[in-house]
Amino acid sequence: MTTEQATKTIDEQLKELTVQMQAAAAAGNLDAIIAIGKQADALKKSVTKAENEKILARAKELEGARQVFSEKLEKAIRSALARAFPDKDGIDTLSQELNAIEATGLHVIHVREGNKWTFGGTYQAPKAVKTAKGTSTGGGTGKSVQEYGMKLQDIVDKFATEEEKVAIDNAESNSKSWQLKVAVKKRAIEAGLLQPTK
């Protein structure tokens, strides 16, 4: 990385690569398009890596405090259960009630924004059934054909990076897969790779 590149923000570098990608697309230079795409992917990966390292470092700093909190929380819950079921074992009674409603566990969730709390059981959810590759899951396929002369899946096959394709194939639901495909389409449009037919 040059000194000039180092002083630029990630957003500035990505914008420059987008401009270069548009120029390469206009010139029909496939090799340049691929090379620029790899540069953009590498840049995004470096950002993700830096963010992950920051998160891990902070987790290490808070490791002791988090352990203390977990112990305090367990003590408080056991005490509350003992008061709620004075004639029985609190934890055992709670387990029986969870089993009776076929809960796989329980949750206590705190959202810092708004200081909101939710309590309840967790339950087995049906697994998403993936459609065959290229099969429409509703939504954008017909619109893509009308606007760009290509099905959404065809757009993905042509313009998605290998990382994007892996993410789509491993999506936990059809809805998530569709969102990732639409993101590929949006990127291709912004880069000037995908042009409307009208």
> Tens of pLDDT along 126-153?
655 555 444 444 444 467 777 888 888 8
Q: Which residue has the tokens 């000194």?
A: 3
- CA nearest to 21, candidates 6, 5, 47, 41: 41
Q: How far apart are CA 137 and CA 117, in angstroms?
A: 35
Q: Which residue has the tokens 């089993």?
A: 99
Claim to verify: residue 27 and residue 54 sit in the same structural domain: yes
pTM > 0.85: no
> Domain limits at 112?
62-123
Overall domain count for the chain: 3
Claim to verify: residue 48 and residue 66 sit in the same structural domain: no
**pLDDT band, residue 3 (cuts 50/70/90):** very low
Claim to verify: residue 116 and residue 146 sit in the same structural domain: no
Q: How far apart are CA 81 and CA 16, in angstroms?
A: 59
Question: How many DSSP H helices and E strands does the chain contain?
Answer: 9, 2
pLDDT at residue 193 greater than cutoff 80: no
129 domain residue, yes or no = no
Strand intervals (E) in 38-192:
103-111, 116-123
